């Protein structure tokens, strides 16, 4: 099938910018269709955007046409005026799929880097050429999935929104891809989370994407000439620190007394830090025993109903870890006492699942509640049934999130088996 060349003329500028056709990239999941000249002329595209070949469907043989959606107008900071906006870009139409099941198609557009004073984060690097955008995007998607990073992708902005969970902490960041000086600029922006964890995570991602990094390119002028040069060694200090913090088991120390003070603090941010720490350390059965022995279970049950969803999530996770460790407690009296406390905690968790049906509840909290119910269904199944756990769990068994749905199905199965 004949391939139309991709040549882009940006009005208002002195020279032509030629972008090689991505159709030449041997992607197994790309299909090509030819466009009529009439179709090309009737589809204006904003000149501030670089249409890296995609995804307007062309006319089929029966003359049915899918309407083309006009993109947003350019921003005030763009060098291209509204007069230039009215001009069109001749481009090739290509259909590409980005999800695993070939169900979603959309337009992949790599935008031009907005002009100064638009800031660029120091965590960035340039990639050679602009003719492999689809391959780069697909590799980034595969890398994020391999690193267990949850993300959403906006193809019309070439933007990834990402969340990485580390123990009971999380790092949120955004990855954007721009066209700048005949190259692609990858910008990473940390939105929340520990700077130490973020620095190590960026170093890890940088190393995995090293094939795409143009190490000879200077820093972007719009970043204040600052550029984070991540170590390219896999055993670098940043990567090693990330792996230690993200995967190492925490050991209980004399800090338990401080934790007890923190969870009873009137300040929510202090409670949040303490609950996150307790949730992390109680993953070990011996640590869970020490926390229960310190008398924190009652305070954690109260915090499970906190209006702060992060405090509630971490408290519920801690209670689930302690409940799972109860059969291993060397002190039978403490084990019996903790089991009775766990039964009351089950009512709080079931109540949260019920409230979430009619109110907005973060997905992370719902997952935590469902996962903890798999434990309560084994430890105290009669109480879970008494609190009407099954109807609440059944509401989520067909949820679009596979983890939440899986936990709910497992909890129901445990209840029916153990009662």
* DSSP sequence for 127-172: ES-STTHHHHHHHHHHHHHHTT-EEEEETTTTEEEEEEEETTEEEE
Q: Which of 111, 89, 97 is nearest to 40 (CA)?
A: 89
- What is the Cα–Cα distance from 315 to 333, expressed in whole angstroms? 23
Token pair recorded at residue 349: 């968790």
Three-state SS sequence of 227-287 = CCCCCCCCCCHHHHHHHHHHHCCCCCCCCHHHHHHHHCCCCHHHHHHHHHHHHHHCCCHHH
Mean pLDDT, all residues of the chain: 73
Look at the alpha carbons of 397, 150, 156, 30 in this order and tell me if their dihedral is positive or negative: negative
217-275 pLDDT, tens digit each: 888 888 887 777 665 555 555 555 555 555 555 544 456 777 888 888 888 888 888 89
Name, of 129-133, 248-252, 278-282, the range with top average pLDDT.
278-282
Instruction: Name the more confident of 46 and 184.
Output: 184
- What is the Cα–Cα distance from 220 to 217, expressed in whole angstroms? 9
Say if pTM beats, i.e. exceeds, 0.85.
Answer: no
Looking at residue 57, its pLDDT comes to 40
Looking at residue 391, its pLDDT comes to 84
Q: What percent of the chain has pLDDT over 70?
A: 67
List where CATH 3.30.310.80 sits in the chain.
109-248
Query: Which range (76-85, 194-203, 362-371, 409-418) has the least confidence?
Result: 76-85
- Evaluate whether 371 touches 316 at the Cβ level (below 8 Å): no
Looking at residue 40, its pLDDT comes to 43
What is the CATH code of the structural domain delimited by 109-248?
Answer: 3.30.310.80
**DSSP symbol at 311:** H
pLDDT-derived band at 45 (thresholds 50, 70, 90) equals very low
Outline where DSSP puts E strands in 362-410: none
* CB contact burial 35-55 (16+ within 10 A = b; e otherwise): beeebbeebebbbbbbbbbbb
Checking if the pLDDT of 318 tops 50, the result is yes
Checking if the pLDDT of 53 tops 80, the result is no
Query: Which range (68-82, 124-138, 239-253, 276-290) has the least confidence?
Result: 68-82
| 266 CB-contact burial (10 Å; exposed 0-12 / middle 13-18 / buried 19+) | exposed
146-190 pLDDT, tens digit each: 988 999 999 989 999 999 987 667 889 999 999 988 889 999 999
Checking if the pLDDT of 126 tops 70, the result is yes
Name, of 48-52, 99-103, 242-246, the range with top average pLDDT.
242-246
Looking at residue 79, its pLDDT comes to 38
What is the CATH code of the structural domain delimited by 256-418?
Answer: 1.25.10.10
List where CATH 1.25.10.10 sits in the chain.
256-418
Centre a 10 Å sphere on the Cβ of residue 404 and count the other Cβ atoms it contains.
20
């Amino acid at each position: 099938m004949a391939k139309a060349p991709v040549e882009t003329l940006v009005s208002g500028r002195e020279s032509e910018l030629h972008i090689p056709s991505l159709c030449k990239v041997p992607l197994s999941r790309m299909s090509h269709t030819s466009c009529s000249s009439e179709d090309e002329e009737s589809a204006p595209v904003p000149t501030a955007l670089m249409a890296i070949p995609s995804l307007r469907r062309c006319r089929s043989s029966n003359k049915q046409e899918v309407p083309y959606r006009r993109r947003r107008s350019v921003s005030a900071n763009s060098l291209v005026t509204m007069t230039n906006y009215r001009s069109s870009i001749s481009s090739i139409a290509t259909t590409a799929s980005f999800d695993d099941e070939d169900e979603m198609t959309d337009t992949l557009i790599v935008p031009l880097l907005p002009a100064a004073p638009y800031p660029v984060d120091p965590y960035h690097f340039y990639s050679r050429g602009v003719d492999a955008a689809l391959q780069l995007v697909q590799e980034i998607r595969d890398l994020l999935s391999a690193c267990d990073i949850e993300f959403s992708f906006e193809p019309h902005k070439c933007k990834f929104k990402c969340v990485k969970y580390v123990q009971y902490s999380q790092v949120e960041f955004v990855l954007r891809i721009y066209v700048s000086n005949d190259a692609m600029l990858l910008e990473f922006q940390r939105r929340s989370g520990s700077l130490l964890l973020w620095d190590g995570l960026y170093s890890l991602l940088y190393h995995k994407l090293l094939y795409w990094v143009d190490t000879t390119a200077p820093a972007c002028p719009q970043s204040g000439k600052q550029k984070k040069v991540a170590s390219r060694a896999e055993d670098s200090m940043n990567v090693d620190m990330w792996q230690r913090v993200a995967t190492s088991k925490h050991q209980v120390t004399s800090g338990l007394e401080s934790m007890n003070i923190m969870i009873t603090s009137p300040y929510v941010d202090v409670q949040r830090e303490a609950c996150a720490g307790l949730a992390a350390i109680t993953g070990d059965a011996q640590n869970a025993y020490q926390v229960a022995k310190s008398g924190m279970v009652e305070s954690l049950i109260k915090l499970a109903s906190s209006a702060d969803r992060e405090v509630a999530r971490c408290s519920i996770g801690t209670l689930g870890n302690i409940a799972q460790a109860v059969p291993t407690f060397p002190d039978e009296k403490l084990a019996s006492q903790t089991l009775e406390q766990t039964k009351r905690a089950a009512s709080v968790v079931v109540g949260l699942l019920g409230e979430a049906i009619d109110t907005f509840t973060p997905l992370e909290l719902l997952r935590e509640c469902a996962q903890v119910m798999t434990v309560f269904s084994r430890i105290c199944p009669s109480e879970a049934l008494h609190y009407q756990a099954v109807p609440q769990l059944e509401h989520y068994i067909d949820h679009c999130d596979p983890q939440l749905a899986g936990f709910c199905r497992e909890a129901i199965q445990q209840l029916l088996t153990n009662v």
